[in-house]
Amino acid sequence: MSTTIYRIAKVEMNTPRDRQVIERRFGPLGSGAQSLAIRGVKHSLSQLLSQIGAEFDDSKPIDALTLSEGHYVLRYIDGQDQRVVAAEFDDDFRLLSEMRASLSEWEGDGSNLVSYSGH
């Protein structure tokens, strides 16, 4: 009786990459606004970074969107972590959720995101 050994190559699940999740939910990076009016006050992207507690030397804002009344998202680059961050927050600037994707997922598509590296 002969025994046959089968080897299975690396199996990958068909799950969306983090970039796809972020862009499906919020659109392509850079397609959002460069400021948001929250409770009648216009905030620049830098002000939004500060308001949600993410203003660091290597944080670079990309864009922001109003998702619904009192619900927003700010997308920025965390240079130290080398990730694009989509931070959802409310009109009191409380963080509701956060998604992150590696900057490397945007390499080679003509974007200049990798130039934002903090290192």
DSSP calls for 62-84: EEEEEEETTEEEEEEEETTTTEE
pLDDT of residue 106: 82
Number of CB atoms found within 10 A of residue 110's CB: 6
Residue 86 lies in a domain: yes
Domain membership of residue 43 (yes or no) is: yes
Say if 13 falls within a structural domain: no
Does residue 32 fall inside a structural domain? yes
Per-residue pLDDT for 61 more than 90? yes
Cα 64 from Cα 79, distance rounded (Å): 18
The answer to whether 113 and 29 are in contact (CB under 8 A) is yes
Is residue 110 one of the residues assigned to a domain? no
Question: Is 73 among the domain residues?
Answer: yes
> What's the length of the chain?
119
Residue 33 belongs to a domain: yes
pLDDT digits (tens, 9 = 90+) for 75-103: 999 999 999 999 999 999 999 999 999 98
How many domains is the chain built from? 1
Domain residues for 83? 18-105
Judge whether 26 lies within some domain.
yes
- Please say if the pLDDT value at position 7 is more than 50: yes
CB 22 within 8 A of CB 30: no
Question: Which of 49, 48, 68, 67 has its CA nearest to residue 57?
Answer: 49
pTM: 0.80
The pair of structure tokens assigned to 41 is: 């006050």
